[in-house]
Chain A
Amino acid sequence: GAGVSQSPSNKVTEKGKDVELRCDPISGHTALYWYRQRLGQGLEFLIYFQGNSAPDKSGLPSDRFSAERTGESVSTLTIQRTQQEDSAVYLCASSLMGGSNTGELFFGEGSRLTVL
């Protein structure tokens, strides 16, 4: 597709369950980012993938959070043993890297996670 695609758009789960959120970036974009947006707050960086380099995981809040990316395509963010404080909108963005990079990010519409 033309834009960043995220699924599911909404997910309601019970405390303690695992969830997987998926992001399909824009074709040709080598950089992929996950951010978390809690209600009334700004964007909190979680993890960054750039090509085949080791991901920057410095924003992951706990070891319950992990993410993978297959080559330069789809990424999956996994949250294990979900807690109520994990409730948020999880935003994925991709970016074109290389010599012409200007740092502009292209965002998906987000996956809204509600932990009961």
Chain B
Amino acid sequence: AQSVTQLDSQVPVFEEAPVELRCNYSSSVSVYLFWYVQYPNQGLQLLLKYLSGSTLVKGINGFEAEFNKSQTSFHLRKPSVHISDTAEYFCAVSPLGGSYIPTFGRGTSLIVHP
């Protein structure tokens, strides 16, 4: 079984400031790692994913995340946020092989202030 912990339920930040959204996971098997974003009144869409290879992955809208196997973390970062980045961000893990049922974290609400 897998579990995902997003340590911050809400992260307020000023526009153009850097941001980090934290995600830790636990799993007895190897996993794929994902970050999804949910804008108000919309479904979730993929920001980025880690499958294998380089531990630093880049996604859409200037976001990036780093996989740290020893710390079982997959934190999301952006060097300079915009008002339009205000949204809910979900970290997810999906086991390799088997049923491919992703487990999601509780989400982090990123609130960007002008």
Contacts and interface: CB of A to CB of B under 8 A. Distances in A.
Interface of A: 4, 31, 33, 35, 41-43, 45, 48, 50, 56, 91, 93, 95, 97, 101-105, 107-110
Given A4-B43, A42-B104, A50-B99, 11 more contacts: A33-B102, A41-B106, A43-B44, A45-B103, A97-B100, A103-B34, A103-B49, A103-B94, A105-B44, A107-B44, A109-B42
Contacts, number: 56
B99 A43 contact: no
A105 B94 CA distance: 10
Given A33-B101, A107-B44, A42 B34 contact: no
A103 B100 contact: yes
Nearest to A41: B106
A41 B100 CA distance: 22
A36 B16 CA distance: 34
A103 B52 CA distance: 13
A103 B99 CA distance: 10
A104 B34 contact: yes
Given A42-B105, A107-B44, A109-B41, A56 B34 contact: no
Given A42-B106, A102-B51, A107 B100 contact: no
A40 B108 CA distance: 10
Interface in B1-57: 6, 32, 34, 36, 41-46, 49, 51
A101 B49 CA distance: 13
A43 B104 contact: yes
Given A41-B106, A103-B94, A110-B43, A48 B49 contact: no
Contacts of A56: 99, 101
B101 A95 contact: no
B3 to A, nearest CB: 11
A42 B94 contact: no
A31 B104 contact: no
Contacts of B36: 105, 107
B22 to A, nearest CB: 15
